[in-house]
Structure 1
Amino acid sequence: MGAHGAYWVAVGIGAVLTVLACVVARRSSARVALVISRCLAVVLAATAVAFYLGPVVDGTFTVRNSLPLQLCDVAAIIVVVTCWFPRWRLGFELTYFWGLAGTLQGVVTPDLGASFPHLEFFVFVVAHIGIVMAALYLAIGMRAAPRRFAPLWVFGITVGLAAVDAVADWKLGANYMYLAHIPPSASLLSVLGPWPVYIASAAGVAVVLFAVLDAPFWLRRRIAGSGRNSSRVTVAAGAIASPGVMASLEAAASSDVTGTPGVTAFPDVAARPPGRTASPEDAPPRRPTPAGSDR
């Protein structure tokens, strides 16, 4: 089996594992879901260590090729932290949008630097498939959701990383984030025009992909918002139409304040008939002064 045949077998295994992990997480307790997430974090952390130390050990490390400045390199670090601490919202948003808009493209059109069964092959496969798996697992298995403006600030962070990589490419003669030239293997960048047109085209594609990835969550937010507004209108209309409902709402509101239904925090106001202003007679009676007291 050639390198690409082994690679697609690994992709198929990763897809099956992703589905299984999501199903187990949704049907199990939060503790089980967290254990799966942290196991994924450990695997990706070990892969990242092997990826960064491998060139150092075998003497192939160069600042032009081995620094962790590629988008997938930075995403791998973010994913490890996010899978260990799933409540980190920005981490999930970066994992979700980078993983499915960027790394997934790298999975479909891989830039394999080594063949099976070289260590670099396994590192590439586990790192890229693991990032995509983490993005899907957090969103589907653990039901994480990006916030309203997440696509905007993820795009801004991406542009900031590209600016850092552009300086590194210029100073080191490197090609981080493929800003200097298109990668030798076929990829989406190959059809986006010559340099530097493909960079601007890639930014436009990223905006579209971010919007598409956010669409299910945007729709869910809209439906949830419409449901809340409809409930408020229904309750308000019923309260206006029915004095009994209004009285029940007032009793419920008073119980929220004092803990006792029908008792408000201001008993003198509650006891006055409607339309009557306060008078000295409305004041609560004073307790008798104990004998021998100075008051």
Structure 2
Amino acid sequence: MFSDNVFFSADIGFTSFSQSHLGAVIVFVLFAVIFVNAAQRLDDRQNLLLTRLTSVFISLTVIVWTSIHIVYGRFDPAVNLPLSICNLFALVAPLLFWQPNRRCFEIVYFFVLSGTLQAIITPDPDGGYPSYGFFKYWIVHCGLVVVVVHHLIAFKLYPKPQGILRTFVWLNIYILCLIPINLWLDANYFYMMNKPINPSLLDFLGPWPLYIVATEGLAMVFFALAYLPIFIARKNNPKMDTIDT
């Protein structure tokens, strides 16, 4: 019975900085190196094909994860809807990365490199190794970072500083949309109602609702840090090209 298989189990716990956590990070670094190398060696057509295939794979990972919960009667709309930023971006990844578009990409860039990298360091997966929830979590979060870095290098989609403010506006639109959903479903998407169970940066930002306000300021700091490599690169090479499509 598949339902008895540990791969489909929803009861396997996860421990931060365990062997499975560190192993996932090592695999992530290896794939990042491979994709960066590919971005530099392949032509535009080949890089676009690689981006499309990877984004479809990431999207299917979320779809299969949701389907497993539905098939085994575990689907709870208060928990399992793909409404977190990472799951939402993963679900629509083929739309986001199908064609190089700087304006769209810079929003994704700031969200992914600020939020998803934090999720890799202080993860809160849907299960421990070797459950599908574990693999889904790491494929989504690491996959998004890898695709963003590859897209940036392959197509020279360098974000502009104004993108930080645009991303901040979209972040607040996203939050405003989540408030009624969380209240209606008694949910905790984007950790707006409670902090995650596993240790995270939110533990240092005070109790609810103060940590939500503090997160707004912290988001701007992370967006600025995400822009820092681009700022340094522009200082060293003022002629960096940008694609405005």
Q: Same fold (TM over 0.5)?
A: yes
The structure 1 residue matched to 2:67, chosen from 18, 42, 53, is 53
Partner of 1:293: none
Structure 2 residue 24 is matched with structure 1 residue 10: yes
CA distance 1:132–1:226, change in 2 (3 Å): closer
1:132 aligns with 145
How many corresponding residue pairs? 225
- CA deviation digits over 1:243-292, x for unaligned, max 9? xxxxxxxxxxxxxxxxxxxxxxxxxxxxxxxxxxxxxxxxxxxxxxxxxx
Alpha-carbon distance between aligned partners in 2 of 1:182 and 1:92, rounded to the nearest angstrom: 29
TM-score w.r.t. the length of structure 2 is 0.83
Matched, 1:169 2:190: no
Q: Residue 115 in 1 paired to residue 115 in 2?
A: no
Contact 2:62 2:82 in 1 (8 A): no
TM-score normalised over the length of structure 1: 0.70
Q: Distance in 2 between matches of 1:88 and 1:141?
A: 12
Closer, same or farther: CA 51–126 of 1 in aligned 2, 3 Å? same
What letter corresponds to residue 102 of structure 1 in structure 2? Answer: G
Residue 160 of structure 1 aligns with which residue?
173
Amino acid corresponding to residue 175 of structure 1 in structure 2: N
Give the number of the structure with larger relative contact order, counting CA–CA contacts within 8 Å between residues 6 or more apart. 2
Q: Would the aligned equivalents of 1:155 and 1:207 in 2 still touch at CA under 8 Å?
A: yes
Q: CA RMSD in A?
A: 2.2
What is residue 3 of structure 2 aligned with on the other side?
A: none
Unaligned runs of 5+ in 2: 1-12, 241-245
2:107 is equivalent to residue 94 of structure 1: yes
Aligned to 2:201: 188
Residue 72 (structure 1) aligned to one of 46, 68, 86: 86
Counterpart position of 1:105: 118
Contact 1:93–1:150 (CA<8 Å) still a contact in 2? yes
Identity %: 29
Give 3-state SS (helix, strand or coil) of 2:83's partner. Answer: coil
The 1:208–1:141 alpha-carbon spacing in structure 2 relative to 1, beyond 3 Å, is same
Separation (CA, whole Å) in 1 of partners of 2:180 and 2:98: 32
> 2: distance between equivalents of 1:42 and 1:172?
29
Q: CA deviation at 1:221?
A: 5.1
Alignment of 1:116-265 (within 5 A): 116-218=129-231, 220=233
Q: C-alpha deviations, 1:39-94, integer Å up to 9, x for none?
A: 21121121121122221111111121112221212221343322322x12233122
SS of the aligned residue for 2:123 comes to: coil
Structure 1 residue 220, shift from structure 2 partner: 5.0
Q: More deviation in 106-115 or 73-82? A: 73-82
Alignment-mate amino acid for residue 47 of structure 1 = T
The gaps in structure 1 that reach 5 residues or longer are 228-295
- Confirm or deny: 8 A CA contact 2:55 2:94 kept in the other structure: yes
Query: Residue in 2 aligned with 1:246?
Result: none
Q: Distance in 1 between matches of 2:181 and 2:44?
A: 42
| Mapped partners of 1:75, 1:82: distance in 2 | 8
Give the aligned residue type for 1:139: L
For 1:186, the aligned partner's letter is P
1:192-219 superposed Cα distances (whole Å, 9 cap, x missing partner): 1111111111111110111122234345
Q: Secondary structure at the match of 1:174?
A: coil
Supply the distance in 1 between the matched residues of 2:24 and 2:130 (Cα, whole angstroms).
12
How far apart, in 1, do the equivalents of 2:230 and 2:93 lie? 20
> The residue matched to 2:219 in structure 1 has which SS?
helix
Question: Which 10-residue stretch deviates more, 214-223 or 154-163?
Answer: 214-223
Compared CA separation, residues 78 and 92, structure 1 to 2 (3 A): farther
Give the aligned partner of residue 6 of structure 2. Answer: none
